[in-house]
Amino acid sequence: MNIEANKVVTFHYRMREPGADVIDDSRDGEPVVYLHGHGGMMKGLEDALTGKKPGDHVDVTLSPEQAYGERKADAQARVSIRHVIGPGNKKTKFAPGTVVQINTEHGPRDVVVIKSGLKTVDVDTNHPLAGKTLTFEIDVLDVRDASQEEIEHGHVHGEGGHHH
Each residue's pLDDT tens digit, 44-92: 999 999 999 999 999 999 999 999 999 999 999 999 988 888 665 556 7
Residue 73: which residues within 8 A CB-CB, separation 6 or more? none
Domains and CATH numbers, the chain: 7-68+130-153 (3.10.50.40), 76-124 (2.40.10)
Q: How confident is the model at residue 163 (pLDDT cuts 50, 70, 90)?
A: very low
Residue 138: which residues within 8 A CB-CB, separation 6 or more? 11, 12, 13, 45, 48, 49, 57, 58, 59, 60
124-137: average pLDDT: 95
**Cβ atoms 69, 49 nearer than 8 A:** no
**Cβ atoms 159, 30 nearer than 8 A:** no
Buried b (16+ CB within 10 A) or exposed e, 60-78: bebebebbbbeeeeeeeee
